Amino acid sequence: MATNIPKSLQIKNRKSGRFRLNFWQRKVLVFYGFVSPWIVGFILLSVLPMIFAILISFTNFNGFDLSGSTFIGLSNYAEAFQNPDAWKAFGLTFKYALFAIPLGLGVALSLAMILNIKLPGRGIFRTIFYLPTMVPGVATALVFQAILNTNSGFLNLFISFFRRGTVIDWLGDYGIACLVAMGLWGCGTTMVIFLAGLQGVPEELRESAMIDGANKWQIFRNITWPILSPITYFQLMMGIIGALQMYVPAGILGQSGVGTNFWNPMRSIFVYPMYALSQMMSYQRFGYGAALIWILFIIIMILALIIQKTSKYWVFYAVDQEGGKEE
Amino acid sequence: MKSAAPKSIIYTGMIFLSILFLFPFFWMLITALKRPEELAITVVFFPPVPQWFHFLQVLCTDEVIPFFASLRNTLIICVIVTVLVCISSAMVGFGFGRFKAPGKNFLFAIVLATMMLPQLMTFIPQYIMFSQLGLLSFSWPFCYFPWVVTSLPGWAIFIFYYRQFFAGLPKELEDAALIDGCGWLRTFFQIFLPLAGPAVTTTCIFLFQWTYTDYITPLLYLTDDSQTLAVQLMTNTKYPGVKFTQPIPPVPYQMTVGILFTLPLIILFFFAQRYFMQGLATTGLKG
């Protein structure tokens, strides 16, 4: 039947039937169909909560009674800047970021550079350094508590062999150092990423530089680093975001005893996000907590922007990066 | 390395560092084998009598912790998150990798930007929204519904990963399928998803690891009976021995549970080491 109808007529008939899209227009619709789960999720689970957070940061919302809360303007933000506890908590978070990020990147890069030397058995070392990242955070915190505990921890027992009766309150007095050490134990992830980047350094380039009489530093500076710098940039970005909002390891490490409320403010390592969350979960001050988190978010965004703006001075992109972006 | 001297220095350093990295594993076991009193009252360096039965106590009785019930809850969440995030990230990644459409680049820029969005930012407002909607008052097993909701949109990092993967496949694939009258959804599920086998494996392994170890989300969303192992380990481990006037912290028992909790991941790592390394290399490289 259909074969008898002239082609031109066929199309006309179809068009007159209903509104019809051509192949490309349909493809656009199919595209939006495929990405719709993410669009809907982004609006409902990211945009909406963020707007909600900024709205409640201007109220005294207590977490349960939305209609009973009143608009109190900027006073949550004003309190955040005046409260000494907030400053103290932020100081700890800042100190943590200041040590954890450079040390984490530095140790991971050094380990990666050593493991990139072709030595027998480097696979075993790579596995050993990566293994700690498989340990769940709770177990990591528990074992570091067992090492750093004042009375029964390994470190104090070990030092007591040399200086009897050593009781150093590691978690209390050097809490941030303990956290940094715990973070370094899990530097395997970054190390493997750097290692993968190092394996992308062309061997011929290094050899020809060596023949031309370049020393080790010159090779690193001019061949290895340009290839590693985009990775470092990404890791630095992620490191800043991660370190400034870090609270779960601090919360568990600073917890004393089983069954203590996680949101209890009485703990040895009280970082800024922990302070914000305990204001919400322990004191029902959701408005104040939301304001604190928004302040942190703005700080993170400013730092990210600064790094992004300065990246053109130290991050090298290969020429084909632009061409490879879009097909 | 030409001479032998730097080589031996490197090996010495590496072995020293290896000992440092492996020591916490060793101390975990030592602590698990102590009696709780040996940590709280009379402190000892090594347990005089290793308490291997701690492992049996945890596995065979519910006196210390409801181990298998908690593990089951953990695994339910792991399956929900792994399956849903993997499929929907692949779908969204497929959309970004294989189509040309107005607004695509803008949307993809937002996907990349959400990778930078602190999780802390949306975490509590989401919790308040869920609780206001009444999603948190369901009983087992429907109490895991929030994970379904949060998993359905996919995760930005995996969307990016799949986009890179699908964009690299030849153009003829979908042309052939479409000419044969295969719909887009079928093209995706029957042609592209099977081709993405290695990417799917990598994604699943990472998702499983992250969900398995997650502490804060279950702590906030779940209550006692539906709670996961990570939280039970921290909040609900008991010392099932004699009752003392002063409660003795059950640290060795916690450590025993911690070892049993970690072991599946370590085993998984040795089986899937290749996927871990590859996955990190490809997701971490191209920021």
Query: What is the pLDDT, as a whole number, of residue B93?
Result: 92
**Would the pLDDT of B87 be above 90?**
yes
Question: Is B38 within a domain?
Answer: no
**Would the pLDDT of B97 be above 80?**
yes
**Mean pLDDT, to the nearest integer, of B186-210?**
87
Question: Is B137 within a domain?
Answer: yes
Question: Is B90 within a domain?
Answer: yes
Sequence-ordered list of residues with C-beta below 8 angstroms from that of B83, at least 6 positions apart, any chain: none
Query: What is the pLDDT, as a whole number, of residue A151?
Result: 80
User: In whole angstroms, what is the distance from residue A64 CA to residue A68 CA?
Assistant: 9
Sequence-ordered list of residues with C-beta below 8 angstroms from that of A77, at least 6 positions apart, any chain: A57, A291, A295
Q: Give the CATH number, domain containing residue B88.
A: 1.10.3720.10
**B107 touches A: beta carbon within 8 Å:** yes
For tokens 């519910």, the residue is B62
Using the beta-carbon criterion (under 8 Å), do A27 and B101 form an inter-chain contact?
A: yes
Question: Is B268 within a domain?
Answer: yes
Per DSSP, A18 falls in state S
User: In whole angstroms, what is the distance from residue A181 CA to residue A179 CA?
Assistant: 5
A75-317 belongs to which homologous superfamily? Answer: MetI-like (1.10.3720.10)
User: In whole angstroms, what is the distance from residue B71 CA to residue B194 CA?
Assistant: 30
Of B1, B43, B95, the CB nearest to A34: B95
User: In whole angstroms, what is the distance from residue B265 CA to residue B212 CA?
Assistant: 9
Domain ranges of chain A: 75-317
Query: What is the pLDDT, as a whole number, of residue B245?
Result: 60
Copy the structure tokens of residue B188: 């995706």
For tokens 């921290």, the residue is B234
A–B CB contacts, 8 A cutoff, strictly below: 254
pLDDT < 50 regions, chain A: 1-2, 8-17, 320-327
User: In whole angstroms, what is the distance from residue B87 CA to residue A46 CA?
Assistant: 20
Question: Is B193 within a domain?
Answer: yes
User: In whole angstroms, what is the distance from residue B217 CA to residue A68 CA?
Assistant: 27
Using the beta-carbon criterion (under 8 Å), do B92 and A35 form an inter-chain contact?
A: yes
**Mean pLDDT, to the nearest integer, of B273-282?**
76
Burial of residue B159 (CB within 10 Å: 0-12, 13-18, 19+) is buried
Q: Which residues of chain B neighbour A145 with C-beta distances below 8 Å?
A: 251
Residue in chain B nearest A160 by alpha carbon = B45
Using the beta-carbon criterion (under 8 Å), do A290 and B254 form an inter-chain contact?
A: no
Using the beta-carbon criterion (under 8 Å), do A138 and B11 form an inter-chain contact?
A: no
Query: What is the pLDDT, as a whole number, of residue A13?
Result: 47
Query: What is the pLDDT, as a whole number, of residue B50?
Result: 85
Percent of chain B with pLDDT over 90: 29
Copy the structure tokens of residue B80: 């929900």
Model confidence pLDDT, tens digit, residues B113-172: 888 888 888 888 898 888 888 888 888 788 899 999 999 999 988 998 899 888 888 888
Where residue A121 falls (left for φ over 0; alpha for ψ -120 to 50; beta otherwise) is left
Query: What is the pLDDT, as a whole number, of residue B263?
Result: 93
Using the beta-carbon criterion (under 8 Å), do B284 and A193 form an inter-chain contact?
A: yes
Q: Which residues of chain B neighbour A35 with C-beta distances below 8 Å?
A: 91-92, 95-96, 107
User: In whole angstroms, what is the distance from residue B243 CA to residue B246 CA?
Assistant: 8
Copy the structure tokens of residue A51: 């707007």
Query: What is the pLDDT, as a whole number, of residue A318?
Result: 59
Which residue range(s) make up the domain with B128? 69-247+262-285
Using the beta-carbon criterion (under 8 Å), do B284 and A32 form an inter-chain contact?
A: no
Using the beta-carbon criterion (under 8 Å), do A193 and B281 form an inter-chain contact?
A: yes
pLDDT grade for B29, boundaries at 50, 70 and 90: very high
Considering only residues A156 and B3, tell me which one the structure prediction assigns the higher pLDDT.
A156
Question: Is B228 within a domain?
Answer: yes
Which ipTM value was assigned to this complex? 0.87
CA angle A53–A54–A55, rounded 5-degree value: 90
**B274 touches A: beta carbon within 8 Å:** no
Q: How many structural domains are present in chain B? A: 1
Query: What is the pLDDT, as a whole number, of residue A323?
Result: 41
